[in-house]
Structure 1
Amino acid sequence: MLDRARRWLFPSACVACDAPGPGLCASCAPSPREAIAFAIDSVPGFALGAYDGPLRDAIVAMKHGLRDPLDAFVALLDRAQLDAPLVPLPTTRRRAAERGFDQSVTIARRVAARRGIGVQELLVKRGAPQAGRDRRERRAATGRFAVRDDAPRPRAVTLFDDVCTTGATARDAIEALRRAGVGVRRLVVLARAGGTSAAARGSIPTQ
C-alpha cells in the first residue's frame, strides 16, 4: 500500500537520464554484452556489468534509499543463471534501518518470486559496514557473516549481493557457509568493480 502511494505521489524516473518510467531505463541499463564473468575462491560469478556509469548511479541511489531501480534490477537479473536456492548477503541492521530496506534481501526475494525458485536468508551480518574502508581494510576484514542456527541448510546455494569490489565480503560469506556445510554453486551481483565484460574478451556468457 505504501509503495503504491509513493509511486502515485512521486512517479518513477530513470536515475541516470530522468526519463519517466523505470528507475533504470532500457537506454541506460547495461546490455547483455556488458555482463562480466569472474570467480571468487573458485566460485563462478556473474555481474550485469561494471560498477560504473548509469549502473553505478542506480546502485548508489538504491543504497541511499531510493526504491525506483529495484524493479529494473530484478528484470535485468533474468540474464543470470540461478540453479540453487538464492541466498542474499544482508547489510547491517543499521544500514537497513537507514534505507528503509535491505537492498540485497529485497532484490533476492523479488527475483526468487519472479523466477519461481527458493530464497533462504541464511546469513546474518556482523560488524561495521564496508563503506568508507580502503581496499586494504576491506580485504583484511573477516568474520562478518554468521549462519543462522534456526535456518535449514541446503547442500548448495547461489549467493546474491549488489556489488562485488575486492571480493572480501563474498569470500567471508562463502567461508561461513562452507563451515556450516553449505556449498556455494555461484555468485550473482549487480555490478563488479574492475571487471572486464564478456564482449571485451570476445565471449558472451549464456544462461
Structure 2
Amino acid sequence: MKFIRTNIPEVILCKPTIFKDDRGYFYEVFKKEIFEEFIGYKVDFCQDNEAKSSKGVLRGLHYQLPPFAQSKLVRVVKGKVIDVVVDIRKNSKTFGEKVIVELSEENKHQLFVPKGFAHGYLTLSDDTIFSYKVDAYYNKESERGILYNDDELAIDWVFSEDKLIISEKDKVQEPFNKADLFEPTFKLYD
C-alpha cells in the first residue's frame, strides 16, 4: 500500500499494491498497523457502510460535528465516482480548500477523510457501489451538510445541473459561509 498526502496533508490517498495473474487479482484493502503508522495516530473504525447508486447521483457534502465527528476511509467497489473533500476546520491553514479525486473499481484507490472535513461524491457510472468505514456512529443531532453547488466552493461536479440526481435534503443544505463549521475541542492529529 502506498500512501500519498494530498494538497490538504491530512487527507490521504491510498493506492494498493495489486497482485494479478491469470486467475484474477489480490490486494490488501486495509491494514490497520501500516495505516496508523503513516497517519501518526490511531483510528478505530467501528462500522462499514455501503451505498449503491445510479449514474449521476450526487451525495453530500456531509459531516458530523464533535463529539460525534467521523473519520472515513472511502472506496469504490463497482463503478466510478468523483470524490470531494472540503476542509471545514475554522482555524486550519487549508480552511475552505478541497480535494477532488476519482475513485473507481479499476484504480482501487481509497481516500482517508479525517474528522473536520465535509465529504461528498458523484457517481459516474450505473450501479456504482461505494463503500466506507467510519470511526463514529451516525448521530442525527450532529449531522450537518453544505450545499453541493455553493458558489464560494465552486466544485466542478462534471455533469450539468439537470443531469444530477440529488436528495431533497442535499438540495437545501446551508451555503459554506452559513454552515455550522468544525471547531475542534480536542487535538485531532499528533
**Greater helix content:** 1
Does the TM-score normalized on the shorter chain lie above 0.5? no
With the length of structure 2 as denominator, give the TM-score of the two structures. 0.31
Which structure: greater strand fraction?
A: 2
